[in-house]
A and B are shown apart, each in its own frame.
Chain A
Amino acid sequence: MELELILNTIARALAFSTPLLWAALGEIYTERSGVVNLGVEGMMIMGAVVGFMVGQATGLPYLALLVAALVGTLMGLAHAFISITLNANQFVSGLSLTIFGLGLSGLLGRSYVGQPLNVAMKSVTVPFLSEIPLLGPALFTDQKLLTYAGLIMAIILWFFLNYTRWGMTLRSVGESPKAADTAGIPVNQVRYLAVAFGGLMAGVAGAYLSLAYRPSWGEGMTNGMGWIALALTIFALWDPLRAIGASFLFGAFFYLSFTKLQTVIAPELLTMMPYIMTIVALTVIALGQGKRAFGAPEALGIPYQRGER
């Protein structure tokens, strides 16, 4: 019985944390380039509403996903324009985009309320792998394609960031833009790309919610997930591989708070668990590794202006 609980937790943590993972991966790249995007929540919800609208109109959920990604990208570009080209306060820019996105999505989605999505993304069960004892049912049964894609994406992004020239370029822009500039790297162009990519990923994350996780549109349906993704970015120490672990851990504790544990621990205390465990986990990491563990990109949140300083 306890084994079953563990296996179920693994399966559900994967499904629940998929949007968190996608959004966090995007934000990791954004922040690695030195820009903070507090607009993740707004970009996610725009992705969710546009994804639903296109999905409902065409019956093609993967086309809808594409359009949602595009909308996320556009919002990312808006954030890039404001925070890089205009060199305006990137924190306020992100917050405004969140407020704007929550409002606009509600406006766009007004007539879609109370409708189920006609064609939702299907669950898949991976042949052969799902027959592995224990792990088969936990990892490879009845998951959405985007869940696997998220995991693969994390690995690709990790490899790309650490082992390719492009990845090095991105990191150098976030760590030391001046040195990167001297070396001939177009700092602001790289940042533009990274921020737009972050928007794209947030759009996908939102579309997962309205096309797969809960195939319908409801106002405010992201319900703070964008903020959790931002927190997970830090929790993952800006590393795509660790983002898998961070979002999985959060998802596991989220799921556990609704299991039969509720009969053992008061549910109102249990629902705090994911948040408490995040702090505990960070503290444990810090105790183990010391301050060095938390190497945020050196130039995070600092705009780069050629000729300054």
Chain B
Amino acid sequence: MTFLGYKLEPRTKPPGQVVFLYSFAAVLVALIITGFIFMAYGLNPFSAYATIIQKTLLNWRGFSQVLLKSVPILLAGVGLVLAFRAQFWNIGAEGQILAGAAAAAGVALFLPLPAPLTLPAMFLAGFIAGGLWGFLPAILKVRLGVNEIITTLMMNYIMLYIVRWLINGPWKGKLVRGFSESDKFPAQAVLPTFVGTRLNWPTLGIAILFVFFIFFLLSRMKLGFEIRMMGESPEAAHYAGVSFLTTTVLLVLLSAGAAGLAGVGEIAGIHKKLLEPTSISQGFGYTAIIVALLARGNPLATLATALLLGWVFASGDVMKVALRLPDQMTGVINGLLLLCIICIEPLLRYRLVRTKALPNSKFKETV
């Protein structure tokens, strides 16, 4: 089809700046729709947005909340990018986060280590525990062909109940008057935070480093190449002698391990004790799926998508308090925003090209 001398031409890989520009436009459209919702609730949309921006971006305490929400979904999200690139549909980040948190809590509470070693040991334990929680689904998939979506989802529920068992049974605190949680961690097991905020910088640093590591792994390392090949054309990978078992296990250990690290950050940075699992992770493992999908397989892009979603959550909090919007409105607006972002996809898949044909050409293109 042509129109005024232009036609739509399919393209396979849109350049990064186009994706960014279009995504930005989509967010803008969502914000305009949300503005109308604000109006329906009797709010001036401009002052409503001014409030939100002021309280989330222009003030350090507010912005630290944005980062606080972004860190766990960034770590778990970039791990999922890796898994999704290999067509391993890991829905189990939520359980892997909890596994990491539980293991770190075990180290903090029961392993007598010299103070400077405690935190590194917690991160290591969390990484390994998260990874191991992804191990069974990986083995079952490669060896027996059991669908990983279902096993990883089930593993989430199982870990949830394991943590509940720990805090009600063997790890229940001695000083908590019978409530279901562990004792507080000793000071050496607590991550330092930026002054005046609850944001701990070690996990933020680890998350950013991990993003670049995954980027490097996928673009420069043999394992990354094998992962990509396995995902993009399993047959070719097979002929090239890629060991599906080893590669899958390694990639899942990394992917699930990243989620485990996120769990350590939450538990050692914010909660400082093992507690009710739905409080440890507020669905971060599921939000991470969106982070990874919006990043379209690009590990570096998770930096943007995690920050965007972190901002959306922090804004939702502001809407609840400063704008007095009902809590459920946050869900409605988040849903709309995501729908807008993905609806630009057809635009990305085509570009406008000037055709030689005249506007009234009888020549018909099939698009």
Contact = CB atoms under 8 A, between A and B. Distances in A.
Interface string A36-52: 00000010000000000
Interface in A96-131: 96-107, 110
Interface in B321-361: 326-336, 338-339, 341-346, 349
B157 interface: yes
A292 B321 CA distance: 54
Q: Is the interface of B mostly helix, strand, loop or mixed?
A: helix
A234 B158 contact: no
Interface stretch (B68-76, B140-148, B193-201): B140-148
A282 B151 contact: yes
Nearest to A272: B161
A104 B328 CA distance: 7
Contact of A101 (B140, B335, B366): B335
* Chain B: interface size category: 35 or more
Contact of B339 (A82, A230, A269, A272): A82
B150 A231 contact: yes
A263 B329 CA distance: 43
A275 interface: yes
Interface in B107-166: 136, 140, 144-147, 149-151, 153-155, 157-158, 161-162, 164-165
Contact of B334 (A99, A271, A291): A99
B154 A99 contact: no
A92 B154 contact: no
Given A268-B161, A283-B144, A103 B328 contact: yes
Given A92-B290, A268-B165, A286-B146, A279 B339 contact: no
* Chain A: interface size category: 35 or more
Nearest to A291: B145
Given A286-B145, A287-B144, A272 B158 contact: yes
A234 B145 contact: no
B168 A268 contact: yes
B289 interface: yes
A190 B328 CA distance: 34
The list of the 6 closest CB pairs from A to B, nearest first, reads: A103-B331, A100-B335, A106-B328, A291-B145, A96-B338, A286-B144
22 contacts: A91-B293, A95-B293, A96-B336, A96-B339, A98-B335, A101-B335, A103-B333, A104-B331, A106-B326, A107-B329, A231-B153, A266-B165, A268-B168, A269-B165, A275-B154, A275-B158, A276-B158, A282-B146, A282-B150, A286-B146, A291-B144, A294-B147
Given A230-B149, A307-B367, 17 more contacts: A42-B335, A89-B342, A89-B345, A91-B293, A92-B293, A100-B332, A101-B335, A103-B329, A107-B326, A234-B150, A266-B165, A272-B161, A279-B146, A282-B146, A282-B150, A283-B144, A306-B366
Interface of A: 42, 82, 86-89, 91-93, 95-107, 110, 219, 227, 230-231, 234-235, 266, 268-269, 271-272, 275-276, 278-279, 282-283, 286-287, 290-294, 296, 306-308
